[in-house]
Amino acid sequence: MRLLVFFDLPVTTKEKRRIYVLFRRFLIQDGYDMIQWSVYARMVNGVDDADKHLKRLSGNLPPDGSVRCLQVSEKQFASMRLLVGTLSFQEKKVNKDQLLLF
């Protein structure tokens, strides 16, 4: 199962840029990988683990902007199509049939 986080945060002032950077750092430190700009994904082991990470995400939300989270199965995530661009280094190394171990 995967958690996808989509966000659009204001960066018009120095303080808002700092809040954006802190939120992005939180996502990276919590195990999320960047799929594309402002879209991050994380593998979770079932609904209980997803709920735990959603609570952690809710506790670190910025005060302004828009943050959305989508929970999808591994099969749904693997069926995602890349329409323009190239696969990232990590996507080339780990295909849908492999399990990523930490």
The predicted-structure confidence for 20-34, as pLDDT tens digits, reads as follows 999 999 999 999 999
The predicted-structure confidence for 51-80, as pLDDT tens digits, reads as follows 999 999 999 999 999 999 999 998 998 888
**Nearest-angstrom CA–CA distance, 61 and 99:** 30
pTM to 2 decimal places: 0.81
Domains of the chain in sequence order: 2-77 (3.30.70.240)
Q: Is 98 exposed, middle or buried (0-12, 13-18, 19+ CB in 10 A)?
A: exposed
3-state secondary structure at position 87 = coil
